[in-house]
Amino acid sequence: MENKFETEIEVRWADVDQNVHLRHSAFYDYGTHARIRFFQATGYDSKKMNALHFGPVLFKEECSFLKEVGLEDTLTVNMLKGSVSEEGGRWTIHHELFNQQGQKVAHITVKGAWLHLLERKLTLPPAALAKALHDLPPGEVFVYGGKRNTE
């Protein structure tokens, strides 16, 4: 069963650069915000993760910038499944960002895992969180003008 997840974000003054458009690092912040909201929605907020001594860790994060985003924009950020290991220990997540006209403005791909906060080693998430990752709709790696795949 696929569970669609998305959240809306209003662009703030602090998110724009000297050209009065969204600064590149804010796109990454919005992807992070969407992931944290997803974890919260699945019952794993920061308090629960800390109590269970685990949290997400990233190995790679890449953003493809497609359209300019301005100060008055509101973005919808989704969360899509790339590859997820059977037990959910390692994962690739995609975020598509859309403006209020429904135009895709950016695509973020993140590769990560789970860190045991006491042992400082990679660990597995609770089964319910692994299932939530597996239940996300499938996403694709974005390639400018090229062929896409589901990595």
pLDDT for 141 equals: 86
User: What are the chain's domains?
Assistant: 6-134 (3.10.129.10)
Record the pTM. Answer: 0.92
What is the rounded average pLDDT of the residues 95-117? 98
Report d(CA 38, CA 148) in Å as an integer. 25
pLDDT for 147 equals: 55
Which CA distances in Å does 115 have to 47, 50, 118, 145?
15, 11, 9, 36
pLDDT for 146 equals: 60
Which CA distances in Å does 118 have to 49, 55, 114, 122, 128?
12, 11, 12, 11, 21
Residues 6+ away with beta carbon under 8 Å from 46? 36, 55
Q: How confident is the model at residue 143 (pLDDT cuts 50, 70, 90)?
A: confident
Given a contact cutoff of 8 angstroms between Cβ atoms, the answer to whether 108 and 94 are in contact is yes
Residue 76 dihedral angles phi and psi, to the nearest 5°: -105, 125
pLDDT tens string 47-98: 999 999 999 999 999 999 999 999 999 999 999 999 999 999 999 999 999 9
- Kindly state the helix (H) or strand (E) to which residue 123 belongs, with its residue range: strand 121-123
Whether the predicted pLDDT of 149 surpasses 80: no
How many degrees, rounded to 5, is the angle at CA 15 between CA 71 and CA 110? Answer: 115
Q: How confident is the model at residue 42 (pLDDT cuts 50, 70, 90)?
A: very high
pLDDT for 1 equals: 54
Whether the predicted pLDDT of 150 surpasses 70: no
